[in-house]
Amino acid sequence: MPTRLFSLQDLSPYDFIQVLDLAEDVKGKPRDYRGKLKHHQLAYLFKKESMPEYLLLEAAVAQLGGALIHLPWSPSQDEAQTGQYAWSGSLGQWVNGWIFSGFSTSRMLAMAEDMTIPVLNASSEHHHPCRVLSDFYTIREARGSVSGLRIGYIGSWTNLCLDLILAALYSGTRLIFALPDPEERKSSVRLEGVFPDWLSFIEWSDDPTAAADTADVVYLSGEKGTAMEDHKEISTRTAQTSFVGGARFPEIGRDVLRIYTDPFLDPDVFERGIKHRPSSLAAEQVKNQLHVQKAIMLLLLDTKR
């Protein structure tokens, strides 16, 4: 397991499965992991605060016996710290790990360049590795395995999608993307030149209903997606794509599990127009994020044993 996790690109397929396996053990034997982060301090620097995200991190660190230091980021720091981050090289003397939230990948990389301690991206505008790991753990828990499953992603392009593609690659899952917002057609075209030909496990549909009909799990996104811009860090990859039109979520069969890009929102926000409501994994998504966060931090800090 690497000591830095900015996106799932930083993990190998083995690392990916290792996180899921450890999360399962942490969830089943919580007492065995109490105190694993004793005498460990982690700094949490956020630019855009999310109360559920912060509470999850606080609870995960506390239940492992560590301490989370909460550091807000002010606009003045954006102006003052855009160049050199001379202080970052000293952080290893003060804390054992650093967690970022709400920053661009380029900004995180700049601040972390001289750090000698583990670094975790809790959320950024184009990546959300912790959420995707948690969601795949939830799907695996519900179905027994993720290998060979078909996941239909319906709605807006969000900061989960790039990591979702990599998670599917690592786990042997097939993806069907259906992006009904017409504006998504323009932003998603930027995928071309980003991912290589080995993305044969991804299908692009112009029919959200067809994507739902052939899926074992449906991922619903009801929020406005992020534009596919400035992905220079993964510009060596290419993909052939076709994109969708339409304006509504489709009808979904009762035997299809559904999962949400933001499980903290009321599921009804996502489900206008859905007549048949299959088993929802929203509650499990929220619960399992805690266990996956613990597993990620234990592995990054190499304190799993």
DSSP letter for each residue of 245-258: --SSPPP--TTSEE
Residues 24-39, mean pLDDT to the nearest whole number: 96
Ranges of each domain in the chain: 4-128+288-300, 131-281
Cβ–Cβ < 8 Å for 278, 215: no
Q: What is the pLDDT of residues 197-229, one digit of tens each?
A: 456 788 877 778 878 888 999 988 865 444 333
CATH number of 131-281: 3.40.50.1370
Structural contact between residues 52 and 101, judged by C-beta atoms closer than 8 angstroms: no
Distance, CA of 151 to chain centre: 15
**Total-model pTM:** 0.83
92, pLDDT greater than 60: yes
Model confidence at 171, in pLDDT bands (50, 70, 90)?
A: very high
Mean pLDDT of 235-255: 40
Kindly report the CATH class assigned to 4-128+288-300: alpha beta
In the predicted model, is pLDDT for residue 301 greater than 70? Answer: yes
43 within 8 A of 98, measured Cβ to Cβ: yes
Q: In the prediction, which pLDDT does 254 show?
A: 58
Question: What order do you get walking across the sheet with 119-124 strand by strand?
Answer: 4-5, 119-124, 97-103, 41-46, 67-72
Fold match flag (4-128+288-300 vs 131-281): yes
